[in-house]
């Protein structure tokens, strides 16, 4: 025998199907006596309502399920973001479908489509692709972007104050006497990455130091840093615009035994940054806050809010720990 239906419950309780439906859905218009009998039948049959069937017939077509697309659920920034979103959802009795995108544009599109097809009430996306035009067909599904803003499609977006944060980092280095401050960054097609570069340029007036873009991952950042420090005229300080790049740079400085002489400020905090020698100065983002705000915005939209797309900026915080307070040596 298969799973019991409302009909089975009705039969064993000796009531009509509709009465069972009323009890299950907590409608108040049922006599306590009948309600008790229904609940007993539910118990003995181990009845569980079929959410899909209920959804099919309901007017209020909410699945109470949202989709979250992140760069990689195993990286610390995404993890904290994810957790914060999950908490907000949990508080509303909403479940979360999760997907990691890596750098795969196609996977972003496919997962977004697939999640929507599952009738998720809304989507939170940290876009990895360089074009989100495909989302314009997603009518009826609220979308909020986090961490990176979209291209070719407009919706609520929650991101850090990248320009200001990067500028603060670079000015901090300049204040410690540095004149040749290198920029190490990643994919410049991503608006967020461009903003951080802009902050760097802004802070240095128009006298930038050496610049390296398109660094993918720790290893690439380590190699690039080594190359930079072996140049004839090496930088005395580094600004790394992303956490994996920061870690790569730390490894490079260690290998060259320059970690006590070359200053470093990274964008985005990471676990144990405070336990390294020297501890790493960063401009911290607040992924938990970003997640909370993004989830809040999404649920507002789901609940019918219909204003124009908002861009919400979350402030960053400079955390001086040592690596950024190394002074420039004479040159």
Partner DNA sequence: ATGAAAGCGCTAACAA
Partner DNA sequence: TTGTTAGCGCTTTCAT
Interface ranges with its own copies (CB under 8 A): 3, 46, 48-53, 55-56, 65, 72-76, 78-80, 82-83, 86-87, 90, 95-100, 114-119, 137, 140, 247, 250-251, 254, 270-272, 275-277
Q: Which does 250 bind (CB under 5 to 8 A by kind): its own copies, DNA, none?
A: its own copies
Among 26, 31, 330, 331, contact with DNA (rule: CB under 7 A):
31
The phi and psi torsions of 314 (rounded to 5 degrees) equal -110, 125
The long-range contacts involving 103-106, CB below 8 angstroms and separated by at least 24 positions, are 103/128, 103/216, 104/128, 105/129, 105/130, 105/131
Verify binding: residue 130, DNA, rule CB under 7 A: no
Helices 217-229, 243-255: crossing angle, 10 deg rounding: 50
Q: Do the Cβ atoms of 120 and 97 come closer than 8 Å?
A: yes
**179 prior amide bond cis, ω within 30:** no
Q: Which does 168 bind (CB under 5 to 8 A by kind): DNA, its own copies, none?
A: none
- Binding mask 2-21 toward DNA (x if CB under 7 A, else -) reads xx-xxx-------xxxxx-x
Q: Which of residues 48-77 bind DNA (CB under 7 A)?
A: 49-50, 53-54, 56-60
Verify binding: residue 1, DNA, rule CB under 7 A: no
Q: Do the Cβ atoms of 134 and 161 come closer than 8 Å?
A: no
Residue carrying the six token digits 């903003």: 195
> Rounded to the nearest whole angstrom, what is the least distance from the CB of residue 63 to its own copies in the complex?
8
Cα distance between residue 189 and residue 72, in whole Å: 19
- Torsion angle in degrees (nearest 10) through CA of 76, 77, 82, 87: 90
Contact region with DNA (CB under 7 A), list: 30-38, 100-108, 191-199, 271-279: 30-38
Q: Which does 270 bind (CB under 5 to 8 A by kind): its own copies, DNA, none?
A: its own copies
> Rounded to the nearest whole angstrom, what is the least distance from the CB of residue 46 to its own copies in the complex?
6
By beta-carbon proximity to DNA, the closer residue of 37 and 286 is 37
Q: How many CB atoms lie within 10 A of CB 180?
A: 15
By beta-carbon proximity to DNA, the closer residue of 2 and 74 is 2
């Amino acid at each position: 025998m298969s799973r019991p239906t409302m009909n089975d419950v009705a039969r064993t309780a000796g009531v009509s199907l509709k009465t069972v439906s009323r009890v299950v859905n907590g409608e108040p218009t049922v006599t306590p006596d009948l309600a008790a009998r229904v609940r007993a039948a539910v118990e003995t049959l181990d009845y569980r309502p079929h959410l899909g069937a209920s959804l099919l017939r309901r007017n209020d077509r909410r699945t109470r399920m949202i989709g979250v697309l992140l760069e990689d659920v195993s990286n610390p920034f995404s993890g904290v973001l994810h957790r914060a979103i999950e908490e907000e959802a949990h508080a509303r009795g909403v479940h979360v479908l999760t997907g990691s995108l890596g750098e795969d544009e196609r996977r972003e599109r496919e997962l977004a489509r697939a999640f929507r097809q599952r009738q998720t009430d809304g989507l939170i996306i940290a876009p990895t692709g360089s074009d989100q035009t495909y989302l314009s067909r997603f009518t009826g599904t609220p979308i909020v972007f986090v961490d990176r803003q979209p291209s070719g499609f407009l919706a609520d977006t929650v991101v850090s104050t990248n320009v200001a944060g990067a500028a603060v980092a670079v000015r901090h280095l300049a204040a410690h006497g540095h004149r040749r401050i290198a920029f190490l960054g990643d994919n410049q097609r991503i608006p967020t990455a461009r903003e951080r570069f802009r902050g760097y340029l802004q802070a240095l007036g128009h006298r930038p130091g050496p610049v390296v873009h398109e660094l993918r991952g720790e290893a690439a950042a380590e190699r690039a840093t080594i190359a930079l420090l072996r140049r004839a005229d090496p930088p005395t300080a580094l600004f790394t615009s992303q956490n994996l790049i920061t870690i790569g740079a730390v490894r490079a400085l260690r290998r060259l035994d320059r970690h006590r002489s070359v200053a470093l400020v990274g964008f985005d905090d990471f676990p144990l940054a405070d336990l390294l020698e020297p501890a790493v100065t960063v401009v911290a983002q607040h992924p938990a806050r970003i997640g909370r705000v993004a989830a809040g915005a999404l649920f507002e939209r789901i609940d019918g809010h219909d204003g124009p797309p908002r861009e919400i900026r979350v402030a960053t915080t400079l955390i001086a720990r040592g690596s950024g307070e190394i002074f420039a040596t004479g040159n």
